[in-house]
Amino acid sequence: MARRRAVQPNGGEAPWRIAQDSTVKLSARAPVLHAVPGFFVQGEDQVGAPDPPHYAAHLGLLPKKTWTEIDEVIGDGKEKKLVIFLRHGEAQHNADKARVGDEEWTNHLQFQADYTDAALTSKGIQQAKDAGQMLKEEIEQRGLQLDLVVVSPLDRTLNTYEHAFADIPVDAPVISLEIARETLGVCTCDRRLAMAPKRAAHPRVDFRLVKDEHDEWWTRDHRESDQEIEARAAELMRYLLEERPERRIAVIEARAAELMRYLLEERPERRIAVVSHSGFIRASLRALGHRFYRPENGEFVPFPLKSMGF
């Protein structure tokens, strides 16, 4: 049986989907997803208030709030989860774009093959280690727990995971999902290299849901739209909220929604870290009604995720 493919808003095929077999169930409806405010400084949007500081203490947990209280809010995880995004550390393309400016990057450098699946810089490695230290303190000293780690399969996110979680006392499954990748297309830094070396280099990561050895998602002439990436992110959240692990994702028009719904509907875990990218994190926040927040390299963005029904 030919496998079904997701469809983009323009009518073309979208390459992304978490479940890539013929058992995918299509659904005409998808639950409304929402990031619950009132727990983290990154999600507070008070009129006249300054933007929250980057790299906030305790991952941004508001004063008088605790991880125990968040555990009580998310309950059994059937309709609510805790999602903690971590943006990768500085990669070579980030450093060079900052050095040459937006115009030179957009007109020339972003097309160069040297940036393919861009690696972390030494600064980015240190940022990942610093993030890991922050996370370790919350786990060991303040009661944060993690049940699942999701990692984009690009080198900069995989290596951020390795450095950040090297000394983290968490016995949780670690899975890699293509759907958590950066905005797709045009920029060579967002093109994935072959999987075989990644599997060898990262034995703790489960890559079984990354189906293609070579990158079938990235295209040279089309950059993923805001609509496409927001829908992709929301779908991952849906997947994570779903309590029934045997259910497959509903295919919708793009991938930001897909990641959100995947986390909500397909994963039984309640407290989930996602190591991803700036564009994808911002798309997720937009899809969930979260205030605008652009994370720095190596920065966390946590929020409780809730399904509001249909």
Q: Is residue 26 part of a domain?
A: no
If one counts the domains in the chain, the total is 1
Sign of CA dihedral 16, 17, 23, 24: negative
**277 class by beta-carbon count within 10 Å (0-12 exposed, 13-18 middle, 19+ buried):** buried
Q: Is residue 127 part of a domain?
A: yes
Q: Is residue 152 part of a domain?
A: yes
Q: Is residue 271 part of a domain?
A: yes
CA distance 117 to 39: 34
- pLDDT given for residue 240 in this prediction: 67
CA distance 130 to 136: 10
- pLDDT given for residue 22 in this prediction: 29
- pLDDT given for residue 242 in this prediction: 58
- pLDDT given for residue 12 in this prediction: 44
Query: For residue 255, how far is the Cα from the chain centroid?
Result: 11
- pLDDT given for residue 195 in this prediction: 93
Q: Is residue 105 part of a domain?
A: yes
Q: Which of 4, 6, 1 is nearest to 251 (CA)?
A: 6
- pLDDT given for residue 19 in this prediction: 45
Q: pTM higher than 0.75, yes or no? A: yes
**CATH number, domain at 263?**
3.40.50.1240
Determine whether the annotation assigns residue 156 to a binding site.
yes
3-state class (DSSP) for residue 67: helix
- pLDDT given for residue 252 in this prediction: 24
Residues 6+ positions from 115 with CB-CB distance below 8 Å: 92, 93, 96, 109, 187, 188, 189
Q: Is residue 72 part of a domain?
A: yes
Per-residue pLDDT of the chain (310 residues; tens, 9 = 90+): 233 334 443 444 444 444 443 233 334 345 578 888 999 999 987 655 677 889 999 999 999 999 999 999 988 666 889 999 999 999 988 888 777 777 766 667 767 778 788 899 999 999 999 999 999 999 999 999 999 999 999 999 999 999 999 998 778 999 999 888 887 767 788 888 899 999 999 999 999 998 889 887 767 776 767 777 776 776 676 666 654 333 322 222 356 667 777 777 888 899 999 999 988 898 888 888 888 889 999 999 999 988 865 4
**DSSP structure class, residue 69:** H
Q: Is residue 239 part of a domain?
A: yes
Distances (CA, A) of 144 to 66, 88, 184, 257, 264: 9, 21, 33, 26, 20
Widest Cα–Cα separation across the chain: 57
Q: Is residue 218 part of a domain?
A: yes
H or E element: which one contains 14?
Answer: strand 13-14
Range of the domain at 211: 33-307
